[in-house]
Structure 1
Amino acid sequence: MLEGLRVLACGARDAVKLCATLLERAGARVDSAATDGADYEVIVVSSDMDIAQWKASGAHIVCDITATGAQDSRSGTPWTDAQIQAMSGLMDTTGFSNGAPVRIGIAFAEISAALYAASAIASAVRVKRQRGIVQNIDVTLMGCAASALTTFLPAAFARRTAARVGNRHPACAPWNAYRTRDGWILICTSTEEQWRKLRQEARVPQLDDARFATLAARVRHVDELDALIETWTTTLATDDCTRLCERIGVAAGPIVGIAELHGEPNFRMRHAQAARAIESNGIGAHTYRQVSIFETFALSEARDVVKPQTRKIDDHAAPLAGVKVIEIGQYTTAPLVGKHLAALGAQVVKIEPPDGEVARSWQPGQGGTSYFFALNNTDKQTIELDLKHEADRAHLRALLKDADVLVENLRPGALAKLGFTRETLGAINPRLVYCSISGFGIASAYPSRPAFDTVIQAMGGLMDLTRSDGAPVKIGASGADILGGQAALFAIVARLASPATEGTFIEISMQDVAAWCALFAAGQDAPRGEALACLDGHVWIEGEVSDAERARCITLPKAAAAASIAGAVAVMRVDELLEDRDFLADVLSAARDANGAFWPVLKVPYRLSRTPASVRAVPGAPESVRRAPPAPARAPVPEDRPV
């Protein structure tokens, strides 16, 4: 992928260290101290050091990772990850509704910045190798943190305040962490059929009450519902409850302690060496390096020589101009990948099911499309296909013939059941880069277990590290989905930067990515700090907090407390960001749809100086591909069997 690339990584931020690890995993040679006469193609820094000479030289791709942008009123201060969580709104989205905001237990902004920086660097390397252009890159932790707010910003756009929900889902129930006889389990239902099966297995008579007859009713009475569910889960061991839920098709999983991660069956199966090392020596500063966030394989057994496609590209075009991507996915992970590939200049064709992706109809929105869908699907061409029909599968095969990338987040094996195995894809297009994103990976201890973001956070160690008054709580943003999508983005762009032309299969397990992040956090000294209540919200204070500071904060508005107490920053609500001039200037943007309507969207949090990525348009309704009528036949032709 990035073999032959020489990288110098020097800077105090964790994001620099993690970015270097990612580039090294993709094949680059990384040094942490400059060698005399060394010809570095890429330099990764955080501008707590003098980098003006490197940036001005034009000899290197220089990636500068900072807390805020140069035009931000808070620039020049080395804000910590926790302070960025507070300033960006991320902290206020994490925690229980009746408690204080919670610092995410991993350095989320640093990790996200490392992943986006690695993708931007791979994009710049591709440009240099294709066009000879060398450019600088700027990445901000603030922009990366704000980019994770796609589930909370829609309420703010509709002038509403989104409350913290703990481990619940604002629109689905039951969906929560429940105590078991020996620990905790996450149970997540999203359909009436799942609820019916769960109710039958629980055998709690009160669950048949009319208060829980519909989804809307269950959400209204969620406190009573959760209490009744827990009367059942506390009678079971966690493993028994998990197996039962898997058998009936309900997403569920234990909250795995970071110290017990080495014994988690899927982690141990996929990362046996790391599991043995943790078991023998515990978690150290470099343990995370033994876990890979992506795996690559040959797409098929065929090893035919493949001629690269040659497309004329303007020197000033975006990095992925000329690349064609097919996206099959919903909600967050694959759509996030497609969104950034499109921003980087690729032609992205999104395949939606009949009647469109479910997330299109979520509220709030405008013109029949949700803000959530718009935020995650900018700059894509959308097509409606029913892949249960052969004519529509044939249309997909035609699209794949000249595609460069296929990315999907279907359940493992779903695409193969439709006739699109890796071997088949290799026959259709021998040079295709195919990326599959799933909860537990293709080779998994749980081949039939469904997974949601919350379950992966629980089983990847993230929830164990994020706690409110001792209770485990999920990252408010869809942390496992977002970080999994970022890992896929980097792997795809790194492969596109390679001169290799053979077909490649990229496997992303969101649990692998979550475990990588959790192990990195567990190997560092845990930062100290506390969110203190003020008259109108909270402030975050770094380090030890005194009783006098607690007493003082409760008498002050948070802006006054942040201004008068050393190390304090205001914990911003997401709706407050829309009145923050730095957020409006550096993070928020506007795009148009096909009807000319304006939409609030997010800028990408990385800036390439000469071939910039950009967010331009919101897609309209998916184009309907009309199937040809069946040919006349002497006998009726049976319909395709549903998958």
Structure 2
Amino acid sequence: MLEGLKVLACGARDAVKLCATLLERAGAMVDFAAADSMDYDVIVISSDMDDAAGWKASDASIVCDITATSPQDSRSGTPWSDAQIQAMSGLMDTTGFAHGAPVRIGIPFTEVSAALYASAAIASAVRVKRTRGIVQNIGVTLSGCAASALTTFLPAAFARRTAARVGNRHPACAPWNAYRTRDGWILICTSTEEQWRKLRQEASVPQLDDARFETLSGRVQHVDELDALIETWTTTLATDDCTRICERIGVAAGPIVGIGELPREPNFRMRHAEAATSIETNGIDADTYKHVSIFEASVLSQTRAEREPETCEEGSNAPLAGVKVIEIGQYTTAPLVAKHLAALGAHVVKIEPPEGEVARSWLPGQGGTSYFFALNNTDKETIALDLKQESDRAHLRTLLADADVLVENLRPGALAKLGFTRETLGAINPRLVYCSISGFGIESAYPSRPAFDTVIQAMGGLMDLTRSDGAPVKIGASGADILGGQAALFAIVARLASRREEAGAFIEISMQDVAAWCALFAAGREPSRGQALACLDGHVWVEGDVTDAERAGCITLPKKVAAQKLAQAVPVVRVDELLEDGDFLADVLSAARDANGAFWPVLKVPYRLAKTPASVRAVPGAAQGFRRAPPAPARAPVPEDRPA
């Protein structure tokens, strides 16, 4: 992918180290100290933590600066930590239990996210330099990355509502929670009435037949009683036995895997035998995460074709102008990838089912389209196809014939069953870059197990590291979905930046791989100290140790006042409060129009390319289709991907 690229990584932030690791994984040669004899293609710095004076793009070097906030932010120049950015951005307030304090995410989420976005932005800039001779600076902010992860919570804020923390529950589905077993914890996630019926029959708890639990709304309303009854069943079983039962009846479930237990987790061990052996032999250290790959790339098929000369669309200065992308995606992962490819200038065609993607109708929204769908699908052309019909499959084949990228997050094998195997795709278009995103990967110990974001967080070690008063809790944002999508984005853009003239590529993303990579990185570093303290109107996050007097003193103070009185303290901002924050409104939030001229709140991308900027411009209208079904009934927002 990026073979021959010379990179200097000389910033103190975790994001710089992780970005360098990602570029190295894609084939670049990385130095962590400048060598006098080398000219670098890319230099990665963190100017708010280091003396980076003089590092600007030259005739030869792209410079990527990863900072906590942008230069225009009123808080710029301060080396804010990951935890402080989590608190200031609204991200921390989304994680934790409903009646508990906000919880710091157990991995340095904004640093990891910044590394992934920075790597994709660098690959874009490398492509621009190679094809057009333009060298430029790049800026990436942790605060922008945090905001980009809030797409399941911002819709409520746009509707002037506050989205409460839900712990391991789901705001619109039940049962959906972490339950104790005889020897640990298990996540059980039901999303349909059929799944609930099968789970109730398997549990054989008479009280579950109560009329209160007959409907979804009743189960959500009486969720405390429901969860208590479910746990009377799960506590009689070993975790593995309970997981096998759920898999047999088609209910998404999985154990909460401790970070030290990853080597014994069957899918992790199958896919990362070297890492599993290293952990068993040497434990987890600062380099263990490097043994886990967040993507696998291979040749799409044996059919080869010469690549057509790359061209830039007339009037466009965007990095991926002239690139055509087909997305067969839903909810978060694949739509996130294609959204950023579109922002970078690609022409994205999104394939939806005849009735449109279900997420279109979630509440809240406007004009029959949800804010969630709008945030995740900007700048796409949308087409409705029924891929069970040969005529529509033929139309897809026509679209793929001149495409550069296909990205999808269907269940493994689903596209192949429709006649689009890797070999078939290679025959249709030998130069296609095909990216498949799934929960456990194509080669998996769980070929039939459905995967939700929550289950992947549990089985990838993320929940073990994120705890509230000792209890494991998921990242409030759909962390496994988001990080998996970011990994796919980097892999695709790195492939598009490749110098090699070769056959098309197959890129595989397992969200569990990405989650484990993040968790192992966090487990291998010195843990930072800090805690959220209750205040009169919320909480403050304080770095380091806290005295009893400081804790008691905060209770009677507004959080802004408490933050001013305590060293290393910042307010824990609610997501709805961001809409009154001048820095958020100026640097993160933007407006886009749909085909009818209506304005929509959207998010700017968290990376800035100085000379060939990415931009968010429009919200898609209704999908153009051949046999449109009646609109789906409105549904509450679901902050998870459906089974991947």
Provide the TM-score with structure 2 as the length reference: 0.96
List runs of 5+ in structure 1 lacking aligned partners.
Answer: 628-643
d(CA) in 2 for partners of 1:562, 1:407: 44
Task: Give the secondary structure class of the aligned counterpart of 2:586.
Answer: helix
Q: CA RMSD in A?
A: 1.1
Task: Give the secondary structure class of the aligned counterpart of 2:124.
Answer: helix
d(CA) in 1 for partners of 2:315, 2:4: 23
Give the alignment of 1:233-244 within 5 angstroms: 233-244=234-245
- The AA in structure 2 aligned to 1:25 is R
- The AA in structure 2 aligned to 1:470 is G
- The AA in structure 2 aligned to 1:43 is I
Given that 2:57 and 2:136 are in contact with CA atoms closer than 8 Å, whether structure 1 keeps it comes out as no
| 1:630 corresponds to | none
Given that 2:179 and 2:231 are in contact with CA atoms closer than 8 Å, whether structure 1 keeps it comes out as yes
**Cα shift at 1:625:** 2.7
- The AA in structure 1 aligned to 2:26 is A
| 2:335 corresponds to | 335
Give the alignment of 1:574-593 within 5 angstroms: 574-593=575-594
| 1:229 corresponds to | 230
d(CA) in 2 for partners of 1:626, 1:438: 29
d(CA) in 2 for partners of 1:174, 1:91: 25
Change (3 A) 1:184 1:411: same
Given that 1:131 and 1:315 are in contact with CA atoms closer than 8 Å, whether structure 2 keeps it comes out as no
- The AA in structure 1 aligned to 2:555 is I
Task: Give the secondary structure class of the aligned counterpart of 1:382.
Answer: strand
| 1:638 corresponds to | none
**Cα shift at 1:215:** 1.1
**Cα shift at 1:345:** 0.2
| 2:27 corresponds to | 27
Change (3 A) 1:169 1:323: same
d(CA) in 1 for partners of 2:406, 2:253: 29
d(CA) in 1 for partners of 2:58, 2:621: 44
d(CA) in 1 for partners of 2:532, 2:53: 37
**Cα shift at 1:246:** 0.5
- The AA in structure 2 aligned to 1:113 is A
Instruction: Tell me the number of residue pairs that the alignment of Structure 1 and Structure 2 aligns.
Output: 626
| 1:184 corresponds to | 185
Q: Deviations over 1:207-227 (max 9, x none)?
A: 111111111111111111111
Q: Deviations over 1:230-279 (max 9, x none)?
A: 11111111000000100111100000000111110000000001000100
- The AA in structure 1 aligned to 2:498 is S
**Cα shift at 1:49:** 2.8
d(CA) in 2 for partners of 1:312, 1:564: 54
Q: Deviations over 1:111-162 (max 9, x none)?
A: 0000000000000000000000000000000000110000000000000000
Q: Deviations over 1:492-521 (max 9, x none)?
A: 000000123411000000000000000000
Give the alignment of 1:244-393 within 5 angstroms: 244-302=245-303, 304-314=304-314, 317-393=317-393
| 2:638 corresponds to | none
Give the alignment of 1:43-192 within 5 angstroms: 43-47=43-47, 48-55=49-56, 57-192=58-193
Given that 1:54 and 1:60 are in contact with CA atoms closer than 8 Å, whether structure 2 keeps it comes out as no
| 1:408 corresponds to | 408
Q: Deviations over 1:337-393 (max 9, x none)?
A: 010000000000000012100111110000000000000000000000010100010
Given that 2:131 and 2:310 are in contact with CA atoms closer than 8 Å, whether structure 1 keeps it comes out as no
| 1:636 corresponds to | none
| 2:451 corresponds to | 451
| 2:464 corresponds to | 464
d(CA) in 2 for partners of 1:261, 1:215: 35
d(CA) in 2 for partners of 1:165, 1:140: 28
| 2:430 corresponds to | 430
- The AA in structure 2 aligned to 1:466 is T
Of 212-221 and 586-595, deviating more is: 212-221
Task: Give the secondary structure class of the aligned counterpart of 2:27.
Answer: coil
d(CA) in 2 for partners of 1:250, 1:83: 37
Of 36-45 and 304-313, deviating more is: 304-313
| 1:528 corresponds to | 529
Give the alignment of 1:432-581 within 5 angstroms: 432-500=432-500, 501-581=502-582
- The AA in structure 2 aligned to 1:8 is L
| 1:396 corresponds to | 396
- The AA in structure 2 aligned to 1:493 is V
Task: Give the secondary structure class of the aligned counterpart of 2:55.
Answer: helix
1:614 aligned onto 2:590: no
d(CA) in 2 for partners of 1:282, 1:54: 38
Task: Give the secondary structure class of the aligned counterpart of 1:444.
Answer: coil
**Cα shift at 1:314:** 5.0
Task: Give the secondary structure class of the aligned counterpart of 2:386.
Answer: coil
**Cα shift at 1:300:** 1.3
d(CA) in 1 for partners of 2:357, 2:349: 14
- The AA in structure 2 aligned to 1:265 is P
d(CA) in 2 for partners of 1:238, 1:130: 53
d(CA) in 2 for partners of 1:211, 1:314: 61
d(CA) in 1 for partners of 2:332, 2:36: 45
d(CA) in 1 for partners of 2:313, 2:325: 17
Given that 1:316 and 1:610 are in contact with CA atoms closer than 8 Å, whether structure 2 keeps it comes out as no
Of 313-322 and 60-69, deviating more is: 313-322
**Cα shift at 1:205:** 1.2
- The AA in structure 2 aligned to 1:325 is V
- The AA in structure 2 aligned to 1:17 is K
Change (3 A) 1:581 1:416: same
Given that 1:60 and 1:134 are in contact with CA atoms closer than 8 Å, whether structure 2 keeps it comes out as yes
Change (3 A) 1:53 1:313: farther
- The AA in structure 2 aligned to 1:354 is P
Q: Deviations over 1:90-119 (max 9, x none)?
A: 100000001000000000000000000000
Provide the TM-score with structure 1 as the length reference: 0.96
Identity %: 84
**Cα shift at 1:43:** 0.3
